[in-house]
Structure 1
Amino acid sequence: MDNNYRILVVDDEQDLCEILKFNLETDGYTVEMANSAEEALEMNIESFNLLLLDVMMGGMSGFALAKQLKAEPATKDIPIIFLTARDTENDTVTGFNLGADDYISKPFSIREVLVRVRAVLRRTAEHNGVPQSNVISYQGLELNLDKKTVSIDGEDIPFTKTEFEILHLLLDEKGRVFSRQELIDRIWPKDVLVLDRTVDVNITRLRKKIGRFSKCIVTRLGFGYYFDA
């Protein structure tokens, strides 16, 4: 998935803004911050592809900001993910009625935020008919989905089809844990008997081939594997 997106984080917790900004930028996004809804309104909001809005802020709330933005033609189609410490059904309903695309309750894991951001941006792009990039990258690691090639810092690395498909899946959905059975179902032909051990062997080979990025493929004991950015 092409991560060339601009994201605005609006939250009155400065430390949380900094944490979100750092991790989203590490994931490849361009990120700006505002510590209040009023500050956000002074920015060029229509230039952003996604808004992460805290609900409870001093002054104007995230709900009020969203309502105002959804009423303006220039900003009404920008997807919104609400961040809130309040996890009540009424709040959730209010958020979705205002046109929210997702709703994340605090405290949350950064991995959860990254996965949800990626999902919302993908849905938005598909809805708008935006062609998705055929290159997936993380820092110096790059997969070309058209050429079926993998390169690190511009140098091509030989990959088998199975190794390529595993890396593609893990890298495209960074942060999501895939069980061995999920990997088998998504990658191997249905008529082929594949053991869990086969998945482990391919993961081991994959780690060896991607060098310094091997530590990004993490084993979650009892659950499976994920790509940790």
Structure 2
Amino acid sequence: MAVYYVEDDENIRQLVLYALTQSGIQAEGQPDDTAFRAACAKSIPDVVVLDIMLPEVDGLEILRRIRNTPGKLSRVPVMMVTAKNSELDIVRALDAGADEYITKPFGMMEMVSRVRAMLRRASDWGGGRCKDVLSLGALSLDFQARELLVDGAPVALTMREFDLLAYMMRHSGVVLSREKLLQNVWGWDFSGGSRTVDMHVLTLRQKLGEHADAVETVRGVGYRLVGSRPGDSVVE
């Protein structure tokens, strides 16, 4: 499985590529959108790691194009890398279809761990390992089609949003801490100060529309998924 890392700073790009390849991950680097387009024309990657601050065409524009490209590329999981740490920038990246984000400066072990977790998720996504359907009130998740239906209408989710909702549906009614969600959905240990779960819950609620209140915030702990109507329970 291959990873493409788009970063214009050659020193950072080479350092990350070295860390990934030394960990047994096949990785290629591109300095800009032109090189990334050329690489994708030859072979579609399994995961894309994309810096936001790029020359000429920035990472968010590239991400939007990826998600709007018909075929396999539109479904490739993408992690955004940025020096910015504002909530607005993170939300914009997730709204544009990012599955994950990491802010500079970052540790090489954390980068490798996150990429490895994304590769595992990408493998599960493509392999169709789960063939069941989960339903809770107005929400229905089809694992074989990797599709969410809300009141019978399809709603587009990123890979990470799908996995987050699936885990919460399997544990509906249970209060789930951010640490537990990170460990079981992202596959890496919680790092103090991370807003990863909060940002994904925010974008997930936006996509659930009038059923957004099915994802409850439990102050000081985490989140709980409940039925959108009284008496709702998970049906498998």
When the two structures are superposed, what TM-score results if normalisation uses the length of structure 2?
0.52
**What SS does the aligned partner of 2:75 have?**
coil
The 5-angstrom pairing of residues 1-229 of structure 1 reads 5-44=1-40, 46-74=43-71, 75-129=73-127
Instruction: Give 2:17's aligned amino acid.
Output: K
CA distance in 1, matches of 2:109, 2:35: 27
* Cα distance in structure 1, aligned partners of 2:4 and 2:22: 15
Per-residue deviation, 1:19: 0.6
Q: Secondary structure at the match of 2:64?
A: helix
Q: Secondary structure at the match of 1:47?
A: coil
Deviation, structure 1 residue 100:
0.8
1:19-70 deviations in Å (ceiling 9; x for gaps): 1111101111111111112221122265210111000111100000011111
Q: Cα offset for 1:118? A: 1.6
- What is the CA–CA distance in structure 2 between the aligned matches of 1:87 and 1:22, rounded to whole Å? 25
- Could you list the per-position Cα deviations for residues 56-107 of structure 1 after superposition, in whole angstroms to 9, with x for gaps in the alignment? 1111000000111111123100110000000111111111111111000000
CA RMSD of aligned residues (A): 2.3
- Matches of 2:63 and 2:110 in 1, distance apart? 22
Decide whether aligned partners of structure 1 residues 68 and 90 sit closer, same or farther in structure 2, where only a CA change above 3 A counts: same
Alpha carbons 1:115, 1:176 under 8 Å: kept: no
The ranges of structure 1 where at least 4 consecutive aligned residues each deviate by more than 6 angstroms after the TM superposition are 174-177
Distance 1:30 1:17 in 2: 14
Report the AA paired with residue 107 of structure 1: P
Identical aligned residues as a percent = 25
The normalised TM-score by structure 1 is 0.53
Secondary structure at the counterpart of residue 76 of structure 2:
coil
Structure 1: segments with no counterpart, 5+ residues? 132-173, 178-229
Distance (whole Å) between structure 1 residues aligned to residue 88 and residue 57 of structure 2: 19
Q: Which has the larger radius of gyration?
A: 1
Size of the alignment, in residue pairs? 132
1:76 aligns to what SS in structure 2? Answer: helix
